[in-house]
A and B are shown apart, each in its own frame.
Chain A
Amino acid sequence: MKILIAEDDLTTRTILRGVLVKWGYEVIAADNGKEAWERLQDPDAPQLALLDWMMPEMNGPELCQKLRAQKRPAPLYIILLTSKGDREDIIEGLEVGADEYITKPYNNEELRARIKVGQRILELQTALIQKEKLQGVLEMAGAVCHELNQPLQTVSGWAEMLLLDLSANDPHFQALKKIKEGVDRAGSLTRKIMHISQYQTKDYLGGGSRIIDLDKSTKPVEGFPG
């Protein structure tokens, strides 16, 4: 997992980077608020940020506020690092959008535990967003399929009727057959999609791949053994 650290003091930044790397995190460091903001605009920006309270260019609370005003593609968990143990500062930090704060000098184990809390929250948020997205897409797919199946039925049915009236030698016969085949293909596709929506509303939370595999995602028919 990637973590951004924004800290202007070289010594603190180096120590912090050291412990995070030791715990297995990939660290992206910035020495001022502006640079941190830029790093957090990257397409694969870290989702967890440790921001120092006092920084040149843009301080922690300012950066926090700016980040929260932004529509971001992925959730971001912000931990403010503050040397001021002042209750009012803590309140201010949380109010401008920090999720957590830690007071310097901090205890390594406490920092590690707080980062883990952040990871847990991020995992939950990501899962929720994915679930909502997929559910919305699939509900819409189901409704669209339903609307499509009616006209597909009309086209397929009349093509079938006309085919009965034509001899195989008729020049229109082959064309109609192709129309029928095309509609049948569309029909089998809507069938697959509708079955996914059913499967989906019941149970689906797999992370990783976001591509729906139509063939693997169909639900077995209820009520049959095995």
Chain B
Amino acid sequence: MEEKRILVVDDEEPIRDLFECAFTRAGYSVRTADSAEKALEIVQNTPFWVLFLDLNLPGMNGVDLCRRIRQEYPMAIPIAVTGYASLFELTDCRSAGFEDYFTKPVNLAELLDAAEQAFRKLERWKKR
């Protein structure tokens, strides 16, 4: 079976560690990046179809990052996880291409659920 890869982008290390640990434990292969710029570098070499992006990032923000990723990989499923709900409107996130949107603190179970659904969707699209 193909490896299920997830990219986590968050500028705070404790959050990256937490998400990495939770997704790894659930059987995913995880990469992390602390900025949008680094995330773009990573996806240039290895495509990621499921991504969890923080919105408030230094440099390029998560919404612009999402837009860039969706331009390059229209089938990618980016999911927003933000600490600051009022920074970007949900509508902006949807139109940038975010599949889903979570506000911190979020239950890991919900994120794992979102990841599982995303991979199921990708499977279904492949088999259409």
Question: Which residues of A pack against B, CB within 8 Å?
Answer: 142, 145-147, 149-158, 160-161, 164, 183-184, 186-187, 191, 194-195, 197-198, 201, 221-223
Contacts and interface: CB of A to CB of B under 8 A. Distances in A.
Interface string B75-113: 000000001111101110010000000011111110000
A213 B21 CA distance: 38
B42 interface: no
9 contacts: A146-B87, A150-B83, A151-B14, A160-B107, A161-B18, A161-B21, A184-B105, A194-B84, A222-B90
B25 A187 contact: no
Contacts of B109: 160
B21 A197 contact: no
A155 B21 CA distance: 14
A158 to B, nearest CB: 6
B15 interface: yes
B56 interface: yes
A81 B29 CA distance: 82
Given A152-B104, A153-B105, A187-B105, A158 B18 contact: yes
B105 A149 contact: yes
B37 interface: no
A183 B107 CA distance: 11
A165 to B, nearest CB: 10
Contacts of A197: 86
B104 to A, nearest CB: 4
B22 interface: yes
A223 B85 contact: no
Given A198-B86, A222-B90, A157 B103 contact: no
Contact of B18 (A142, A154, A183): A154
A156 B103 contact: no
B105 A152 contact: yes
A153 B107 contact: no
Nearest to A180: B107
A55 B83 CA distance: 61
Given A157-B108, A160-B108, A187-B105, A146 B91 contact: no
Contacts of B64: none
A145 B87 CA distance: 12
A163 to B, nearest CB: 10
B84 A146 contact: yes
